[in-house]
């Protein structure tokens, strides 16, 4: 998720600050869309955040960077939901190498799902990054694929969308490419970058849902497609199936530690630290872009600095008063 404002290690209501109390930027949480590949605690702050932003909207493409207020937030391991100020209800769940979005639209003659391939990094000073190479191809109604090379890492995506009655178009520099099915960029610089991506647009009735599925890979679009189908299986009710499978996976991991007794706040702190300890390092088996053979691969930097928000909070405080066991 892309929240506005930020600190050296993430997003929030305040501007970046390295000492003292940071200045407040926003009164409420806001979002311009929902992104992928967030790392928790990585020191190289612009390299590992916020790619393939998905923005559900009712406004024209010119309003793409609008910041909508968030309400009715709900979060649990593997699931997030919120309602944007536009009235669109947003739900996201994930698989090992995929993400599934579900949006519930109000009645509108021209609802939109916009995927921005050009965006990356943090919404803070000197925190943004741009692709050095990119390609994007529309394969047919509700199907597309593409790749961006961000900070030297090739990120590929395969997209499927259940959007009956929607038009599907590529866009460049906030202008629709009627009839265009492919974009290729051999070299991009900060000074030459113009936003580009995929747009799905059509009428919606009040309460109508649209599902978007995205498979990812570091080894090309074909493997991204295989990863998507391995994670999500059949297209029918993919969101519910993926959410249930992810919930079961997290229950298995978090259920290895049992806590008895202790106050509710301390149990919450302990459970939160246990959850965060499992977010990093990020294992991506069979995905190394640097050597051809399959096998283990870890997709992040993991130094003492990088684990201060993940493993160390679990190790530093004492466990809740009571008993705990593995």
240: left (phi over 0), alpha (psi -120 to 50) or beta: alpha
What pLDDT was estimated at residue 258? 84
Tell me, yes or no, whether 182 and 280 share the same domain: no
How far, in Å, CA of 13 to CA of 27, rounded?
7
Tell me, yes or no, whether 217 and 272 share the same domain: no
What pLDDT was estimated at residue 10? 42
Kindly report the CATH number assigned to the domain that includes residue 51: 2.70.98.10
Task: State the burial class of residue 120 (Cβ atoms within 10 Å of its Cβ: 0-12, 13-18, 19+).
Answer: buried
What pLDDT was estimated at residue 39? 66
Tell me, yes or no, whether 28 and 154 share the same domain: yes
Structural domain boundaries enclosing 273: 255-325
What pLDDT was estimated at residue 301? 66
How far, in Å, CA of 5 to CA of 26, rounded?
7
Closest CA to 80 of 140, 33, 20: 33
Tell me, yes or no, whether 33 and 95 share the same domain: yes
What pLDDT was estimated at residue 9? 40
Tell me, yes or no, whether 281 and 227 share the same domain: no
Tell me, yes or no, whether 308 and 214 share the same domain: no
Q: How many domains does the chain have?
A: 2
Tell me, yes or no, whether 198 and 276 share the same domain: no
pLDDT per 10-residue tile (average), the chain, 326 residues: 40 71 80 84 67 96 92 93 97 96 97 95 79 96 96 93 93 91 92 94 96 96 96 83 94 88 84 85 89 87 73 72 59
């Amino acid at each position: 998720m892309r929240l506005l404002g930020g600190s050296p290690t993430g997003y929030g209501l305040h501007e970046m600050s390295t000492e003292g109390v940071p200045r407040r930027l926003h009164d409420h949480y806001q979002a311009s869309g929902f992104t992928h590949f967030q790392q928790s605690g990585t020191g190289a702050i612009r390299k590992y955040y916020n790619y393939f932003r998905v923005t559900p909207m009712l406004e024209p493409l010119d309003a793409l960077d609008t910041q909508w207020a968030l309400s009715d937030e709900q979060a649990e391991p593997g699931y997030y939901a919120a309602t944007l100020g536009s009235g669109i209800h947003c739900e996201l769940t994930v698989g090992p190498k995929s993400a599934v979005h579900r949006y519930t639209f109000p009645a509108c003659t021209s609802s939109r799902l916009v995927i921005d391939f050009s965006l990356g990094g943090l919404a803070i000073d000197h925190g943004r990054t741009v692709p050095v190479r990119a390609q994007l191809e529309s394969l047919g109604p509700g199907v597309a694929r593409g790749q961006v090379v961000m900070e030297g890492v090739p990120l590929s995506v395969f997209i499927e969308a259940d959007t009956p009655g929607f038009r599907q178009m590529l866009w460049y520099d906030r202008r629709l490419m009627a009839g265009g099915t492919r974009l290729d960029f051999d070299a991009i610089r900060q000074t030459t970058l113009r936003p580009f991506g995929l747009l799905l647009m059509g009428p919606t009735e009040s309460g109508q849902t649209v599902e978007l599925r995205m498979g990812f890979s570091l080894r090309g679009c074909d493997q991204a497609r295989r990863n998507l189908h391995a994670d999500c299986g059949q297209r029918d009710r993919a969101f519910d199936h993926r959410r249930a499978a992810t919930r079961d996976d997290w229950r298995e991991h978090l259920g290895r530690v049992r806590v008895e007794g202790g106050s509710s706040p301390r149990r919450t702190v302990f459970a939160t630290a246990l959850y965060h300890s499992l977010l990093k390092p990020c294992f991506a088996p069979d995905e190394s872009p640097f050597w051809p053979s399959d096998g283990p691969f870890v997709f992040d930097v993991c130094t003492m600095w990088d684990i201060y928000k993940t493993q160390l909070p679990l190790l530093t405080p004492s466990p809740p008063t009571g008993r705990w066991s593995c």
